[in-house]
Structure 1
Amino acid sequence: MEENGRVQLKKERKGFCRKLRDWFNWKRRARKQEGKNFIGDNVPVEKDIERVYCSDMVEAKLKNYSMINVIGQGAYGKVLLAESKATKELYALKVIQKNPLKPQKTFDRFRIEKKILETSRNNPFIVKFHSSFETPSKYIFALEYVNGGDLRRYMKKTGKLSEDSVKFYLSEIIVGLNFLHSMGIAHRDLKPENVLLDKDGHIRITDFGLSKIGLNGNKKTRSLCGTPAYLAPEMIGCKGYGFSVDFYALGIIMYEMLTGNEAFVYAREQRRTLCQRLFGKRKTVGITDISEEASAVLKGFLQKNPKKRLGCHPQSGFQQMVSMPFFKAIDWELLKAKKVIPPYKPPLSGRTDISNFNSKFRAQEPILTSESK
């Protein structure tokens, strides 16, 4: 592209255009070999993704649902509670706005998240996928409605949790993560807001918008993404990483559950920008009033060196975690069958009760049309 500004003669312009065309064709072949599409290709539509472009068809599809309330919102879009008019089932509709400047990237993220949700459909600790469809301006997932709110809201309500409660939530998250990792999936945005509680108090891991697939074997990735307070050192340093970043984030969640506070403190001036939050000096806040067993697990998860981090051994990571003295009382088979009684059952007055979600979301108008945001 830099050469374009120096091209003067007609012969030179032809040569430049030929080089550009050759590069374009080479890039297209390389992308196709990776199973991706290049801009300019006719993007094939997966058979199980319903694309709806006619405005009448879009409105007809959306009219299959009765919108009840907004229950969440993020940079991607929002989540609405909706009822199917045909079956009367409740669903959480996750609406992802398309980026008109990067349409292929948005489609790739949607395709990856859909693949993860389909792969995890039968796991008891991952939110269940029902269906998806696409409109001219957005992608929409119909997901299981998990009505107990998220772990962050529960932690704010309760303050620090007992070690028995921490043990229960960590165990269910570990089982969910172990399944994802066995399928070559790294979550990369694990935090209390992405851990939901169902009506009985069991957890559901959700939001795979930043997840990475294909990390089988020794494959690694280098992308910097996620929530600053939960980023592992190897991700901040842009070093190659795999599943290790999820266990570091799990250590941060464990710390917050045990103390009711943030894991790291920053100088007041360092809280102002994202770069300062990421790369500024982070000082760990110590804890003294926890058992030695809990302390050993916490230190294991928060190891700076991923090779020494608890759970990160490629073959024996899960066994290493379950054999820790802190988890000695857990019957893992009963836990996987959801036969262990949760320490907390969310209060619910009915099937459409949304009191466990943030009031600032609930105050919004539950409008979803083909062009709404």
Structure 2
Amino acid sequence: MPLADRRLARSYVHLPGYQERVTGPFRPLGISLGAGSFASAWGAQDHGSGRLLCMKDIDRRKMVEEESEDVVATELEVYRHMASWEKECDGRAFLMQLEMCFSTHDSIYFVMDLMVFDLRKLMADEPEFSFENAPRLSAQMALGINALHSMGIIHRDIKPDNILIDSRYNVKIADFGLSHLHGTPLEPGEGYTSAYMGTLAYMAPEVMFNEGDKYGCAVDWWSFGCVLYELISPGHKAGGLFNAVDEIDAYVKSSTSEALEELDPCLLEPVDCLRYEFEGIKSHPWFTVNGMSEFDNAAYRAIQRFQIKFIHGEDQDEHDEELLHPVRVEWQNFWPVFA
């Protein structure tokens, strides 16, 4: 059995949380949430709890054709690691959790909370709201990234498409397929991996121009800086701050950049050991709104926000033949993905 298959075979289904447990079966809501090269996502309702969820349908054949088994396996491994992390971790509320994972002959399914949209769509559809709420949204992002680092995870693909927005307009960082899992808390300045990984427009220089040296959690803060620039720039400059290798190279070789007039240059410091990390970001006065830091009690204040209702699952017709039934094979406290 290939390594990826062995890792997938030890993946699990239910992750604990404060909401009612997801058990299945699931009723599709007829709502497409997007599609990629080997996966699609759609809205569903858990028949047992009534919770509205996102079902990510990974086509096994396309996954193999795209040679993406390791991406799927890594994402499951990261979810498993986060679920098993017992230490208190500030910012965990701003990370997507996997509620269930199961498989059929043709597909692997990820079951997660249903989000309204991603940050890119929020910036496009509600530009004024995005700008006004930039300190709150970016503080939630920073808390989530710091939580990942506290659990020994470098995300490596922080970008607006992977920052999801829930029904209370709070952040959930998702898509961990390109992550590096170290397993124990990351130390600033330490190197952990040298793999070329990420999305060009948000990729840190030490990844882009890597010649074998190991990099660490600072790469996520560079990507965070690019997202933050996009969030606060006039018109929310589409595609991010950098769109080509030459643009990144030119910035790295320059001492200043007019594009960063509204952003502390320390966040996009080309030298990774001098770059702002969480403590520097948290203490920056830009995050203080009406005399209160957006980092203070962020998780508690997030759940107090007004919740919009964007789907009414109870209005859908219920037919047993439409329900998707997960195959439950218990393995200790986990359910295998592969039967």
- So what's the TM-score if we normalise by structure 2? 0.71
Paired position in structure 2 for 1:319: 279
| 1:87-106 pair list within 5 angstroms | 87-98=49-60, 99-100=63-64, 105=70
For residue 79 of structure 1, report the CA deviation from its aligned partner: 1.1
Letter in 2 for 1:332: F
Paired position in structure 1 for 2:330: none
Sequence identity (%): 21
Paired position in structure 1 for 2:195: 223
The counterpart of 1:261, out of the listed 237, 240, 248, is: 237
Paired position in structure 2 for 1:336: 299
Q: Which blocks of at least 5 consecutive residues in structure 1 are unaligned?
A: 1-36, 51-61, 267-276, 312-317, 354-365
Letter in 2 for 1:337: Y
**SS where residue 117 of structure 2 aligns?**
coil
- So what's the TM-score if we normalise by structure 1? 0.65
Paired position in structure 2 for 1:24: none
| 1:275-354 pair list within 5 angstroms | 277-278=244-245, 286-287=258-259, 294-296=262-264, 299-311=265-277, 318-328=278-288, 329-330=292-293, 332-339=295-302, 348-351=309-312
Paired position in structure 2 for 1:179: 147
| Per-residue deviation, residues 176-211 of structure 1 (Å, max 9, x unmatched) | 111110011011111111111111111111111111
Distance 1:94 1:49, change over 3 A: same
For residue 301 of structure 1, report the CA deviation from its aligned partner: 1.4
Letter in 2 for 1:249: S
1:126 pairs with 2:126: no
Distance 1:223 1:169 in 2: 29
Distance 2:123 2:82 in 1: 26
State the Cα RMSD in Å: 3.7
Distance 1:92 1:235 in 2: 32
Paired position in structure 2 for 1:158: 126
Paired position in structure 1 for 2:114: 145
For residue 287 of structure 1, report the CA deviation from its aligned partner: 4.3
Higher relative contact order (CA 8 A, sep 6+): 2
Distance 2:114 2:245 in 1: 34
8 Å CA contact 2:28–2:43 kept in 1: the answer is yes
| Per-residue deviation, residues 322-369 of structure 1 (Å, max 9, x unmatched) | 222222431533213235876xx786454459xxxxxxxxxxxx9989
1:86 pairs with 2:48: yes
**SS where residue 173 of structure 1 aligns?**
helix
For residue 302 of structure 1, report the CA deviation from its aligned partner: 0.8
- Figure out how many residues of one structure are paired with residues of the other and give that number: 286
Distance 1:228 1:264, change over 3 A: same
For residue 212 of structure 1, report the CA deviation from its aligned partner: 1.1
The counterpart of 1:136, out of the listed 101, 105, 116, is: 105
**SS where residue 141 of structure 2 aligns?**
helix
Distance 2:9 2:237 in 1: 46
For residue 81 of structure 1, report the CA deviation from its aligned partner: 0.8
**SS where residue 220 of structure 1 aligns?**
coil
8 Å CA contact 1:120–1:126 kept in 2: the answer is no
Paired position in structure 2 for 1:6: none
Letter in 2 for 1:257: L
Farther off after superposition, 191-200 or 255-264: 255-264
Q: Which blocks of at least 5 consecutive residues in structure 2 are unaligned?
A: 15-22, 252-256, 315-321, 327-339
